[in-house]
Amino acid sequence: MKWLISLAVVTLAVVFWSLRQRPGTTPRQPSFPAPKPLDNIDTTPDAPVSFGRKMSWLAVKTEDSAGVIELLPVTGIQPANWRTGFVAAYGGHVFISPPVNGWTLIVSQQLPELPEENRTDELTPLLASLSDKFRESQYFATHRVVGYHAWALFKKGREVRAFAYLDAKGEYLANRGDQTDGESALGYDYFDPEDPDAQSDTYWDRSDLCYPDEEHVMEVASTWSVNPQTLENSRLAEGTGWIGQYNKSPQ
């Protein structure tokens, strides 16, 4: 009997190890459940609501929020104020904001991500289309659970900058284009596994290097366009945006 128990324990350990090592089982960007039904949708204009944690959003350089909607793969559009939009965005829907200091924000946990190699890229065509019409579009995302932090900048239909880090894999998923002036001004130097010095253990003890985090995402957003964490203190006029269902293509 004892040897049967030992065999079972060993078998379970082998299965568990193989699952951990199997390609694709390591967590990548965060996944979220299907959108929840929305109740009590309010269209009464209200003041902006801050957001940003565990969220992704686009910033498009225009006050033509209705024109932005025309380029989004969003259905079931209906008016909603900030408070309803906040609940919708964290419930799996998408919120398109009224203008914020010359920008329109598209907020949703269902937005596509900066892709890893050999994965469908829905984000680049979307940002290219928006920036082609409105001259500039930006992408931001952060999720502390898996350590996914990303930002991207497109101008006149072309990618200028794309950066994404996934702590769950310890990998930079993207690092294309030169740092923008806004990024450089923040003064962050990140650990780089490709750096020749990274072969030394002392490299990883350096205090002048760090990893990207959610605060960095907010700070980059602030230098590029709008920091969503400061919206409640912005004293912007009350307004109403739209909510809808973001339609992702099957992977």
Length of the chain in residues, anyone?
251
Instruction: Report the range out of 9-13, 56-60, 206-210 with the highest average pLDDT.
Output: 56-60
Residues whose CB falls within 8 Å of the CB of residue 136, separated by 6 or more in sequence, listed in order: 60, 61, 153, 154, 155, 156
Q: Which of 48, 31, 244, 33 is nearest to 148 (CA)?
A: 31
Q: What does the block give as tokens for 63?
A: 């006050």
What is the arithmetic mean of pLDDT over 76-90?
Answer: 95
Check residue 33 and give its pLDDT. 56
pLDDT in tens, 14-48: 333 333 333 343 445 555 556 666 778 999 999 99
Check residue 100 and give its pLDDT. 96
Among left, alpha and beta (phi > 0; psi -120 to 50; other), residue 156 is left
Domain range annotation of the chain:
44-178+213-246
What is the arithmetic mean of pLDDT over 109-123?
Answer: 82
State if pTM tops 0.85: no
Q: Residue 39 in contact with residue 87, Cβ under 8 Å?
A: no
Of the pLDDT bands very low, low, confident and very high (cuts 50, 70, 90), residue 152 is: very high
pLDDT in tens, 204-243: 889 999 999 999 999 999 999 999 999 999 889 999 999 9
Check residue 165 and give its pLDDT. 93
* Residue 109 scores a pLDDT above 70: yes
* Residue 99 scores a pLDDT above 80: yes
